[in-house]
């Protein structure tokens, strides 16, 4: 019997939801591989969590070409085998589409589409071989809505993540691999500080904000139960139940007004 430890690999683990995933899996006794750009923060988190589980740190910038291949190479060189993959690395790129240089869009698309899809492709054989592989793709409630002005590529990228999660679930259930797309609404984290939209986000009512620990708990429970889609928070689940039945033109009108309120682009 193979007793090699099977790790949870968490991308974007230095802060926010990724950090909370690391803490929750450590509490469950799952050894960790943490990756993100900010190596110093990863080492600080790893030093804290090593009291519970083995933790490895691999600094990587998923916006760089070849980052996914290099990351998997480092994993295998170190003899680390992955059973749980949390594709969390991501960010927002506020502003009108044509106001950003294409170089910025290209880096965004590498992180939000190319890197995690390649990482998943490269790790799928060992996830399947484990007999109980788990993939959590951190998408967004935006994946369930029409695109918004001022975050032009964000909703399309998250929608892609949701749809690919569904396909991967169908293709890999036979090997015991559960795939879940996590679609949270607004969640307390550094996300909006990094994108420079904190002032706009602070205009939202308190009830719209989710606790990141709640988000992570619901995601882990969902992937263990084999649920493909999880929307944390009853308010967002209720909103989705209502919004999905509205005509497209009504939804677009709602997004137009919402974009003006919290993401001014003029």
Question: Is the distance from CB of 25 to CB of 50 less than 8 angstroms?
Answer: no
Residue 91 catalytic? no
Given this model, what pLDDT does residue 198 score?
A: 43
Q: How many helices (H) and strands (E) does the chain have?
A: 11, 7
- Interhelix angle 154-172/116-130, rounded to 10 degrees, is 20
In the chain, domain spans: 6-262
**pLDDT single digits (tens) 225-245:** 999 999 999 999 999 999 888
| Site of tokens 């999905």 | 244
Q: Which two tokens stand for residue 69?
A: 């291949």
Choices 3.40.50.720, 3.40.50.2300, 3.30.465.10, 1.10.10.10: CATH for 6-262: 3.40.50.720
DSSP-based three-state secondary structure for 111: helix
Each residue's pLDDT tens digit in the chain (266 positions)? 455 789 999 999 999 999 999 999 999 999 999 999 999 999 999 999 999 999 999 999 999 999 999 999 999 999 999 999 999 999 999 999 999 999 999 999 999 999 999 999 999 999 999 999 999 999 999 999 888 888 899 999 999 999 999 999 999 999 999 999 999 999 876 554 454 444 555 566 676 789 999 999 999 999 999 999 999 999 999 999 998 888 888 878 877 776 655 554 44
Question: Is the distance from CB of 11 to CB of 36 less than 8 angstroms?
Answer: yes
CA–CA dist 85, 230 (Å, integer):
16
- Of the listed 7, 91, 97, 154, which one is catalytic? 154
Query: Which residues share a beta bridge with 34?
Result: 10, 57
CA–CA dist 149, 254 (Å, integer):
12
CA–CA dist 133, 83 (Å, integer):
5
């Amino acid at each position: 019997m193979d007793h090699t430890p099977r790790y949870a690999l968490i991308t974007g683990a230095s802060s926010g939801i990724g950090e909370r995933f690391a803490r929750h899996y450590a509490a469950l006794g799952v050894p960790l591989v943490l990756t993100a750009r900010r190596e110093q923060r990863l080492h600080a988190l790893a030093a804290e969590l090593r009291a519970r589980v083995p933790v490895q740190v691999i600094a990587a910038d998923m916006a760089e070409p070849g980052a996914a291949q290099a990351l998997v190479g480092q994993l295998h060189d170190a003899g680390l085998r992955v059973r749980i993959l949390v594709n969390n690395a991501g960010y927002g790129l506020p502003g009108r589409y044509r106001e950003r240089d294409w170089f910025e869009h290209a880096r965004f698309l590498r992180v939000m589409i190319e890197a995690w899809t390649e990482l998943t492709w490269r790790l799928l054989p060992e996830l399947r071989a484990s007999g109980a592989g788990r993939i959590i793709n951190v998408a967004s409630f935006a994946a369930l809505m029409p695109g918004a002005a001022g975050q032009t590529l964000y909703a399309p990228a998250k929608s892609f993540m949701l749809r690919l999660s569904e396909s991967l679930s169908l293709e890999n259930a036979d090997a015991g691999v559960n795939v879940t797309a996590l679609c949270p609404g607004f969640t307390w984290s550094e996300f909006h500080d990094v994108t420079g939209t904190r002032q706009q986000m602070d205009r939202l009512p308190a009830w719209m904000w989710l606790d990141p620990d709640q988000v992570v708990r619901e995601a882990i429970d969902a992937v263990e139960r084999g649920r493909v889609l999880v929307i944390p928070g009853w308010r967002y689940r209720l909103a989705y139940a209502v919004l999905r039945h509205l005509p497209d033109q009504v939804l677009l009108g709602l997004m137009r007004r919402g974009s003006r309120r919290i993401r001014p682009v003029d």
